[in-house]
Amino acid sequence: MAGVAIIGSQWGDEGKGKATDLLGSRIDYVVKFNGGNNAGHTVVIGDEKYALHLLPSGILSPGVTPVIGNGVVVDLGVLFEELDHLTERGIDVSKLRVSGNAHVIPEYNRALDQVTERFLGKRRIGTTGRGIGPTYADKINRVGIRIQDLFDERILRQKIEGALVQKNELLVKTYNRRAFSVDEITDNLLSYAERVQPMVGDTSLEVHWALETGKTVVFEAGQATMLDIDHGTYPYVTSSSATAGGVATGAGISPRQIDRIVGIQKAYITRVGSGPFPTELHDADGDRLREAGGEFGVTTGRPRRTGWFDSVIARYSSRINGFTDIVMTKLDVLSEFERIPVCVAYEVDGQRFDEMPLSQSDFHHAKPIYEYFPGWQEDISGMQHFDQLPANARAYVEAIEKLSGARISAVGTGPARDHIIERHNLLG
């Protein structure tokens, strides 16, 4: 039995989709356990490029059963758009399973996400505007709507009525927006009920049995450690548990069923949206990273903020998640730099921090202390063997491995499926 978690170790967009795809032919199930259509995973297969938001990336691999776990928030309109789009492109999506306990994103939560951001002004989080935060808030407040509610119109209507009492108050009185009617929300959600019903089941039990019968199950995270609601740079985070700890609750399995925990990290670092970012570059190097790495959001198209590799964050992520392996992506993007700085610690008001500072203000003021590595300035795109890499590139990987606190089992050398160096078997 093998449960393998794929976790973002930075601020997202590390290449989790590509890592799942790499394992595609060797796995039986892929389970999304957190987040919703705020995620954007790009997978490149031959000449084809796929952008997935709500569906787990493993859906692209023939034979794999994709699962949307109870910890996910589901925009049903987006779900069917994505499924139709993939079907048009010849992907078999018929095996998809959806947890009856997953929450749905009603339209009023999209409206609230967008309007609260606008009102926050300079203090905005920079959310994706997909209604993620308000829907998780409803779940915690116990006024959320679950997929299983769609199959009992009376209960669904009651729940929507209850939720709208507060939602409309906020939308109309605080934000000067229009109210939603119980009928329009109910009708909208009911319009998906018949189509979703055959996919819905007890995915916790199904995944349990898959593991018990020796199947390989990948748990694919959306977002990442530094965006985790508990362990990220709060309040500049998403609203779910994106770390390894979230796998058990979000998929409904035991922590004992997770055998490997694979951290995905870029050879540098990026962030989308607001919030502190110690190694952020505001200069020509930052632009070069953005251009060479194609660092523009898959979901919102926003340019990603770019910076040098931060090993304080890498060590923190390794510890919080307990990485057994790391996949380092995008080493090829660094090829053009003569000298590559790596942040090894922070300085805050004259004091050195080797670990993440506890205080939010300290982290906001953290200045990176850099060590410099010689570049290789040679095209490494598409290389598949570690020995092929120039000596300086190998030295960079080995140095990052030491700084990160877990072995680097694979190194990405380009966006394509086979642009990867596997040093250790991720499932072994």
Where does this chain bind ligand IMO (CB under 6 A)? 8, 11-13, 38-41, 125-128, 130, 132-133, 222-224, 227, 238-239, 272-273
Stretch that binds ligand GDP, among 16-24, 155-163, 174-182, 250-258 (CB under 6 A): 16-24
**Sites for Mg ion among residues 5-24 (CB under 5 A):** 13
42 binds, among ligand IMO, ligand GDP, Mg ion, none (CB under 5 to 8 A by kind): ligand GDP
> What are the φ and ψ backbone dihedral angles of 373, each rounded to 5 degrees?
-115, 140
Q: 125 or 421: whose CB is closer to ligand IMO?
A: 125
Collect all residues with Cβ–Cβ distance below 8 Å to 182 and sequence separation of at least 6.
Answer: 157, 160, 161, 164
Question: Pick the catalytic residue: 21, 28, 41, 183?
Answer: 41
Pick between residue 298 and residue 345 the one whose CB is nearest to Mg ion: 298
Residue 42 or 311 having the CB closest to ligand IMO: 42
From the list ligand IMO, Mg ion, ligand GDP, none, partner contacted by residue 10 (C-beta under 5 to 8 A by kind)? none
Alpha-carbon distance of 353 to 278, in angstroms, equals 12
44 contact, one of ligand IMO, Mg ion, ligand GDP, none, CB 5-8 Å limit per kind: ligand GDP
**The binder of ligand GDP chosen from 97, 146, 260, 330 (CB under 6 A):** 330
Q: Please tell me the distance from the alpha carbon of residue 424 to that of residue 428, in angstroms, as a whole number.
A: 8
User: Positive or negative, the Cα torsion across 201, 203, 209, 213?
Assistant: positive
Question: Which residue number, 13 or 401, has a Cβ lying nearer to ligand IMO?
Answer: 13
- The rounded distance, in Å, linking the Cα atoms of 269 and 289 is 9
Residue number closest to ligand IMO, CB atom: 273
Q: Which value, to the nearest 10 degrees, does the dihedral of the CA atoms of residues 230, 233, 234, 236 take?
A: -130
Q: What is the DSSP string of 169-205?
A: IIIIIIT--PPPPHHHHHHHHHHHHHHHGGGEE-HHH
Residue list 261-320, contact with ligand GDP (CB under 6 A): 294, 298
Tell me which residue has its CB nearest to ligand GDP: 412
Q: Indicate which single residue of 55, 73, 313, 333 sits in contact with ligand GDP (rule: CB under 6 A).
A: 333
State which residue, 124 or 423, has the beta carbon closest to ligand IMO.
124
Residues 33-72 that bind ligand GDP (CB under 6 A): 39-42, 44
Check residue 411 and give left, alpha or beta (phi > 0: left; psi -120 to 50: alpha).
Answer: beta
- Nearest distance from residue 217's CB to Mg ion, in Å? 22
3-state DSSP of 28-46: CEEEECCECCCCCEEEEEC
Q: Residue 410 CA to chain centroid, in angstroms?
A: 19
How many secondary structure helices (H) and strands (E) does the chain include?
12, 20
Q: Name all contacts of 384-388 with Cβ < 8 Å and 24+ positions apart.
A: 384/413, 384/418, 384/419, 384/420, 384/421, 385/421, 386/411, 386/421, 386/423, 388/421
Q: Looking at 82, 138, 332, 401, which residue binds ligand GDP (CB under 6 A)?
A: 332
Q: Which of 276, 279, 305 is nearest to 364 (CA)?
A: 276
Nearest to 396 by CA among 382, 378, 414: 378
- Binding residue for ligand GDP, selected from 329, 335, 404, 409, defined by CB under 6 A: 329
The least CB distance from residue 413 to Mg ion, in Å, is 19
Which stretch in 5-13, 130-138, 232-240, 337-345 sits in contact with ligand GDP by CB under 6 A?
5-13
Report the site for Mg ion in 40-69 (rule: CB under 5 A).
40
Nearer to ligand IMO (CB atom), residue 199 or residue 272: 272
Q: What does the alpha-carbon distance between residue 393 and residue 399 come to, in Å, rounded to a whole number?
A: 10
Is 41 an active-site residue?
yes
CB count, 10 Å around CB of 115? 17
Give how far Cα 207 sits from Cα of 3, 64, 146, 311, Å. Answer: 10, 13, 20, 34
Please identify, among the stretches 35-43, 80-88, 109-117, 271-279, the one whose residues bind Mg ion according to the rule CB under 5 A. Answer: 35-43
Using rule CB under 6 A, residue 16 touches ligand GDP: yes
Residues labelled catalytic: 13, 41
Q: Which residues bind Mg ion (CB under 5 A)?
A: 13, 40, 298
Q: Which residues bind ligand GDP (CB under 6 A)?
A: 8, 12-18, 39-42, 44, 294, 298, 329-330, 332-333, 412-415, 419
